[in-house]
Amino acid sequence: MRFDIITLFPELFAPFLASGVTRRAYESGQVQVRLWQPRDFAEGNYRRVDDRPFGGGPGMVMLAEPLRRCLEAIRAERAESVPAPVVLFSPIGRKLDHASVARWSESQGAILVCGRYEGIDQRFIDAYVDQQISLGDFVLSGGEVAAMALLDAVARLQPGVLHDQGSHQLDSFNPALDGLLDCPHYTRPESWQGAPVPPALLSGHHAQIERWRRDQRLEITARHRPDLINAARAAGQLSRVDETLLARLAAAQD
């Protein structure tokens, strides 16, 4: 798959693409990344890409024309019979979640537009943007951090990127865990600052360990994200044992 990123700050991506376990996805070409500087498609000596907003107000607005030219150059290079979707990172977009990341991980990729300043001329958005994505109910200085978040989430799902092929199956929100949050994890030493490792994890009893982890996932999810418990229940993913534990936890809180 290929992601083309339109950004005024392509230099921000260099260390990201060369660091950490996900770099394997970029080095192998499983996830191809091309960076595009809209200033290269702007006119005039100053290669201007922004201007003051009509109607007044603070800040500047990114010009539509350099973005359009940049987008056309990308499409010409990709030369796809089915054009890749154009994605803008924006507060009005749908929040990125595991399900959408999983879909992106099996897609042809996309053209990611990283806005800056007060935003992008709405006419470009209306004419060319197919989808808008948000990381959450907060505002970033630009779309670059959001683009990196999407790339990282997609890259780690590619075969061979993680050391353990099944590692991501145990991530929070993964369908393999019925969409629950993950359980706590422990490593050596067995006692640290007087806090021991839970005995179940030292038992060597596989079924006991898995039951402890399941109970922890249920308890943590019920405490922090009860909406995920409701979704798992609606999907018929909770057993009688699960429900008994949840009922006991609810009674303890009353």
* pLDDT at residue number 171: 64
Catalytic residue flag (residue 91): yes
* Among 155, 112, 159, 108, residue whose Cα is nearest residue 131: 112
Q: What is the CATH number of the domain that holds 241?
A: 1.10.1270.20
Same domain, 85 and 135: yes
For residue 201, tell me if it sits in a domain.
Answer: yes
Catalytic residue flag (residue 39): no
Q: 169: pLDDT confidence band, cut at 50, 70 and 90?
A: low
For residue 160, tell me if it sits in a domain.
Answer: no
Catalytic-role residue among 156, 213, 214, 217? 156
Catalytic-role residue among 91, 175, 184, 196? 91
Q: What is the CATH number of the domain that holds 115?
A: 3.40.1280.10
Catalytic-role residue among 65, 152, 171, 215? 171
* pLDDT at residue number 175: 80
Catalytic residue flag (residue 68): no
Q: Name the domain count of the chain.
A: 2
* Residues 210-234, mean pLDDT to the nearest whole number: 96
Catalytic residue flag (residue 171): yes
* pLDDT at residue number 170: 56
